[in-house]
């Protein structure tokens, strides 16, 4: 139910923004740029908190990074500061998501802690048995 309410509020706000800000295209574009860029910031924060990145497509995020980098270059070429700022920040956020995905999914040195614990236990038992055998030899 909570998700439905969030979606409903978002749709209503989108309609209101278009109706009231369409007279001011620069303001509408600025609001759109900041909301879009902010959504990527929310994704980065979510990934940092949950450390869950398996469902994310590295190809999609790489394509997004390439696309917003091109938009940044376009804004730089035509001197459009809002396009440059919004897409530059989004490119950095996309790069952050890519980096977090690679970091969170890197191979672990300790992939199976149960086997390692068992191995330590075997080594521990081996040392105890060795000590016991030495003690037994000393008694004879």
Q: What percent of the chain has pLDDT over 90?
A: 55
Report, as an integer, the average pLDDT of 25-52.
90
Sequence-distant contacts of 123-127: CB under 8 A, at least 24 apart? none
Say yes or no to pLDDT of 139 above 60.
yes
Q: Could you tell me if residue 133 is left (phi over 0), alpha (psi between -120 and 50 degrees) or otherwise beta?
A: alpha
**pLDDT interval class at 116 (50, 70, 90):** very low
41 token code pair: 């910031």
**Shortest CA distance to 90 belongs to which of 110, 65, 115?**
65
Angle, helices 81-104 vs 25-50, to 10°: value is: 10
**pLDDT interval class at 129 (50, 70, 90):** low
d(CA 1, CA 73): 42
**CATH code of domain 2-106:** 1.20.1280.290
| pTM score above 0.75 | no
d(CA 132, CA 124): 12
The pLDDT of residue 127 is 60
Beta carbons of 94 and 61 less than 8 angstroms apart: yes
Say yes or no to pLDDT of 49 above 90.
yes
Report, as an integer, the average pLDDT of 107-135.
58
């Amino acid at each position: 139910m909570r998700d439905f309410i969030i979606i409903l509020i978002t749709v209503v706000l989108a309609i209101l923004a278009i109706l009231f800000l369409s007279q001011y295209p620069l303001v509408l574009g600025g609001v759109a740029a900041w909301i879009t860029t902010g959504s990527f910031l929310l994704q980065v924060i979510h990934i940092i908190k949950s450390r869950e990145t398996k469902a994310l497509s590295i190809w999609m995020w790489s394509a997004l990074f390439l696309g917003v980098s091109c938009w940044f270059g376009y804004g730089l070429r035509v001197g459009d500061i809002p396009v440059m700022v919004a897409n530059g920040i989004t490119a950095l956020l996309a790069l952050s998501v890519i980096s977090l995905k690679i970091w969170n999914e890197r191979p672990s040195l300790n992939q199976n802690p149960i086997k390692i614990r068992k191995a330590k236990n075997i080594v521990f038992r081996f040392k105890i048995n060795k000590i016991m055998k030495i003690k037994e030899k000393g008694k004879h």
